[in-house]
Amino acid sequence: MDLGMTDRVRPLVQQVRDMVENEIAPLDAEYHDEIGRHPSGGRFALTDRQIEIMEGLKAKARERGLWNFWLTDSKRGKGLSTVEYAYLAEEMGKVGIAAEVFNCNAPDTGNMEVLERYGTDAHRERWLGRLLKGEIRSAYLMTEPDVASSDATNISLRAERDGDDWVLNGDKWWASGAGDPRCALYIVMACTSPDAHKHSRHSMFFMPADTEGVEVLRPMNVFNNDDAPHGHMHVRFTNARVKAEDLILGEGRGFEVAQGRLGPGRIHHCMRAIGLAEKALELMCRRGLTRQAFGKNLVELGANYDIIANARMEIEQARLLCLKAAWVMDTEGNRAAAPWISMIKVVAPLTALEVVDQSMQMHGAGGISQDQPLAAMWTKLRTLRFADGPDAVHRRQVARHELRQYSNEPR
């Protein structure tokens, strides 16, 4: 069970870290300050400067071969293991726009995975190449406003067969990335057979974002943040038509596609969350060592040593659990890794939220303001307690897995 950095990945980690720290981080604030400055006034339109920043960085990353690391099980990528990718993703988690620079950002990676695994050649030709090059973006439309989507059997957006088409009606929200003007592809889960067995009711579709009858209603805000230009959009489908061949894998197999997609996506979020936590701890230490009150450095006051020690202990544990989950994925596959992914999906965001919260507190009120990245880190992490399944559902999975080993025993 080798959870360490391999010799192969070590120099990549160093390159990514350097680029994040020295080239991406210095432009991150400027990129975000541009939001809302498009001549149209729209927050979800990219300014020339934003495009220049992002495409410039992407060009450098592509040139240096720091690109598409997430393709861990494909001939198209570098053939890294999930464990190796974890170390890279952690570095990308430290700065807001970094993952996109390396073409490793959600939800595109998961969507590319769907194309790779379940798409036809036609799908791959149409979408996958451009996504792999970072030319377009994509979104994944699962969650709905009117039902508890944590139980995915509740998903109610309706797709009805009409000739060679499926006709979709209903609302989706929290379609992350659907705000981006470059977003060209939606992957949509819909109910195709309401009367079938509850795990066979749903199907998944590829759909061009500009399909008629698709309307982006509004961005969902996360603690007042619309996360422009990425965005988490509320999207309405009114008689929106998809071709039958764009139903993925087969009618009633939506859950199968979702499961295949979610494992890697969940763990990538967690890897980046560890990076975020590391960054927050670093900021906490630096602040505590350079600010004085009551005649001492802040670190010397109150429970601050314990707070720092606890943060370090929690981060190390969360990282190791994340690496272990990655290792199980690499060696035993997504299904075997499911309980491990559930575990880290609960642990990583909670751990990172706690560290960021403590770091904010060490910074005083400035810590929750625009002068520090901490509040934005916190809100991003807070969404992770819902994204790809709320904590409660993952805990439930872990407990069921634990109990299963005993429940067939004679009593």
Binding to a second copy in span 135-174, by CB under 8 A = 143, 145, 148-151, 154, 173-174
- Residue 376 and residue 225 in contact, taking contact as beta carbons nearer than 8 Å: yes
Rg of the chain (C-alpha set): 22
Pick from 205, 234, 61, 75: which is nearest to 127 by CA? 205
Residues 6+ apart with CB under 8 A from 381: 273, 276, 349, 352, 353, 356
Identify the residue among 51, 122, 217, 320 touching a second copy (CB under 8 A).
320
Residues 84-143 that bind a second copy (CB under 8 A): 143
The answer to whether 197 contacts a second copy (rule: CB under 8 A) is no
* Number of chain residues interacting with a second copy (CB under 8 A): 85
Q: Could you give the string, one character per residue 66-85, with x where binding to a second copy holds by CB under 8 A and - elsewhere?
A: --------------------
Identify the residue among 29, 217, 244, 399 touching a second copy (CB under 8 A).
399
Of 11-19, 23-31, 260-268, 308-316, which segment contacts a second copy by CB under 8 A? 308-316
Of 114-122, 127-135, 239-247, 395-403, which segment contacts a second copy by CB under 8 A? 395-403
Closest contact distance (angstroms) between CB of 294 and a second copy is 5
β-pair type (165-176, 232-243): antiparallel
Is the CB of 158 or the CB of 312 nearer to a second copy? Answer: 312
Identify the residue among 288, 338, 373, 381 touching a second copy (CB under 8 A).
288
Closest contact distance (angstroms) between CB of 331 and a second copy is 10
The answer to whether 33 contacts a second copy (rule: CB under 8 A) is no
Is the CB of 119 or the CB of 219 nearer to a second copy? Answer: 219
Dump the DSSP string for 124-144.
IIIIIHHHHTTSSEEEEE---
- DSSP H/E element including 169: strand 165-176
Closest contact distance (angstroms) between CB of 7 and a second copy is 12
The answer to whether 305 contacts a second copy (rule: CB under 8 A) is yes
Residues 335-354 that bind a second copy (CB under 8 A): 343, 346-347
Cα 100 to Cα 97, 265, 298, 335, 390, distances in angstroms: 6, 14, 36, 28, 25
The answer to whether 178 contacts a second copy (rule: CB under 8 A) is no
The answer to whether 238 contacts a second copy (rule: CB under 8 A) is no
Q: Is 294 left (phi over 0), alpha (psi -120 to 50) or beta?
A: left
The answer to whether 292 contacts a second copy (rule: CB under 8 A) is yes
Is the CB of 205 or the CB of 378 nearer to a second copy? Answer: 378
β-bridge mates for residue 206, sequence order: 187
Is the CB of 6 or the CB of 74 nearer to a second copy? Answer: 6
The answer to whether 223 contacts a second copy (rule: CB under 8 A) is yes
Pick from 345, 352, 348, 360: which is nearest to 398 by CA? 345
Pick from 377, 387, 162: which is nearest to 283 by CA? 377
The answer to whether 4 contacts a second copy (rule: CB under 8 A) is yes
Closest contact distance (angstroms) between CB of 35 and a second copy is 11
Angle between the N-to-C axes of helices 254-290 and 374-384, in degrees from 0 to 180, rounded to the nearest 10: 150
Is the CB of 249 or the CB of 301 nearer to a second copy? Answer: 301
- DSSP H/E element including 238: strand 232-243
Burial of 204 (0-12, 13-18, 19+ CB in 10 A): buried
Burial of 277 (0-12, 13-18, 19+ CB in 10 A): buried
The answer to whether 196 contacts a second copy (rule: CB under 8 A) is no
Identify the residue among 86, 155, 228, 375 touching a second copy (CB under 8 A).
375
Is the CB of 72 or the CB of 383 nearer to a second copy? Answer: 383
